Structure 1
């Protein structure tokens, strides 16, 4: 099969023929129709993501959508011809989705939503799983909550807003001036972080009480700001980028709580993979009802121009999620 291979860190991916994988027990062989490209993928390629544990030579690509071509032993949820999607590899030494075929752990995938294309489906798993683990598993978001999501027009934030809205929360999302309409379009109150301070938008939207749940998808100073924007006593901050050194004093003085989200853990450890499959199944339900649609970049790419896809993500010029079509 053809695949894009990372032969060394910080060098272009090389597209060539490699042996096709075979299915083992508990696996399905998937013809990859679409592979999502995330900022994390580009960091792995540059050798800046040691936590992902992916060393060259390797096939990258964390999320995918495709068609089942073979079913291994001990798999009863899928059959040949099923369309599936999920967050299936590209870290922890597991083959990723920048290839024509991938043997994936069947626990990690769910049936693809018919309402979405292959490209759209491949743009969902990582961001939605991250959002679900933060909003649902950690913070228990529900109707009546006021939720603040930082980076509401970003790859994760855009899905997080839709998830929180679907669960009945009143949602606010920060973004740049040019992203305000995008945020409003998916049902959130847009907050221009360049035009108001944390204290100003907390006062404006919560009467100074703070938000019940604050989701940080940016890290750094934005996580620090989250600690001062959360509600006293019952508020909860969640972050997928809490990797720096931060003072917990602002959070402690509000009597609030914090949770970190590390979405890669089931792929790295093998534990909790069933839950990831369950989460993407929940994404499919929301997508089928029209309540979950990813924001897509205007151009799709193939294996032959995978470097352009990576450069688009790295440059920050993407207008939505970037997807590669390995069989395109």
Structure 2
């Protein structure tokens, strides 16, 4: 079968088309899946470039996938040949990723694709959707009337987090970088939108205070990392919470956060696969199943910014590295 693999770390040029043997079912609950589409995530770029370690080469990246079941193990109960499925599985920790034509996965880690989604849309969802869900409902316990600030609201996680927050009746504040993204997040339901290219950070903070009884937001969701945490500390009310997906800068002055009694949570949806936590992996698969109803009812949409053939994988990585995509980037096999 055709795969995209890397033999060493480096820039996008290390991504090469190769041929390997098609995988076979090993366990009774396995599914052999013909991969139709896979999405590109920042973790792929970090692995490829050496920011995160790869234990063994050649490596096949790609955590998210969607496809058609070609064959089932003898004890599979919930799926049959021909079913359309999507999943988060592999792409690191020596597990084959989804930049490939075929993949074998236990049925425990697979969900049926919502009726309203294409393969490309379904492939775009898992990592970003699970991240947004865990951030809002596991860490932040968001509820009706909660005020939440989501930076990078037009990104993969951001645009899903806006919709999930609105589905709970939250009031959403978000930041974006241009007018197209402003229109995009407005259509998703964001209540208060700030173009940080046009507005000074002090102006943004002042407006948020004015709209929150001079308190700040209850929750801040950080999709940026680095020094951005400092701005979120100022935006978040006393006894509020910041959920971050990324590493804060070592230069952060935490004194204000301490005196405001803020709660800081780290969201890394990769943890269950990193530490082989099977029960947690099943919980994450159940999140995909829960969201199917939201997709099919029209309350949740996934935005795919670009669809490229697998041969254009280098271009797909470069789009993510450029940092200006709205929603997700997908490759098709």
Does the TM-score normalized on the shorter chain lie above 0.5? yes
1 CA distance for matches of 2:75 and 2:195?
Answer: 51
2 CA distance for matches of 1:111 and 1:202?
Answer: 40
Structure 1 residue 138 and structure 2 residue 144: aligned?
no
Equivalent residue for 1:207?
A: 213
Spell out, residue by residue over 1:52-91, the C-alpha distance to the aligned partner (whole angstroms, 9 max, x if none): x454201111101111122235532222211111211101
How does the TM-score come out when normalised to structure 2?
Answer: 0.91
2 CA distance for matches of 1:286 and 1:58?
Answer: 35
Match of 1:295 among 303, 307, 310: 303
CA contact (8 A) 2:90 2:98 kept: yes
User: 4+ residue runs of structure 1 moved beyond 4 angstroms?
Assistant: none
> What are the residue-to-residue correspondences of 1:89-100 with 2, within 5 Å?
89-100=90-101
Aligned-residue CA RMSD in angstroms?
1.7
SS at match of 1:59: coil
Equivalent residue for 1:24?
A: 26
Shift of 1:259: 0.7
CA contact (8 A) 1:9 1:56 kept: no
CA contact (8 A) 1:64 1:87 kept: yes
- The 1:117/1:193 distance shift into structure 2, 3 A limit, reads same
Equivalent residue for 2:187?
A: 185
Spell out, residue by residue over 1:247-304, the C-alpha distance to the aligned partner (whole angstroms, 9 max, x if none): 332222112211101111111112111111011112222111112112222x421222
Structure 1 residue 36 and structure 2 residue 39: aligned?
yes
Match of 1:241 among 226, 232, 246: 246
Shift of 1:27: 2.7
Equivalent residue for 1:280?
A: 288
- The 1:317/1:229 distance shift into structure 2, 3 A limit, reads closer
2 CA distance for matches of 1:255 and 1:288?
Answer: 40
Unaligned runs of 5+ in 2: none
Equivalent residue for 1:60?
A: 61
1 CA distance for matches of 2:22 and 2:2?
Answer: 9
2 CA distance for matches of 1:239 and 1:295?
Answer: 22
Shift of 1:169: 0.9
Structure 1 residue 2 and structure 2 residue 2: aligned?
yes
Shift of 1:15: 0.9
Spell out, residue by residue over 1:179-220, the C-alpha distance to the aligned partner (whole angstroms, 9 max, x if none): 211111100021223414253132132122111111000001
CA contact (8 A) 1:85 1:122 kept: yes
- The 1:264/1:149 distance shift into structure 2, 3 A limit, reads same
Unaligned runs of 5+ in 1: none
SS at match of 1:152: coil
2 CA distance for matches of 1:249 and 1:282?
Answer: 39
SS at match of 1:300: strand
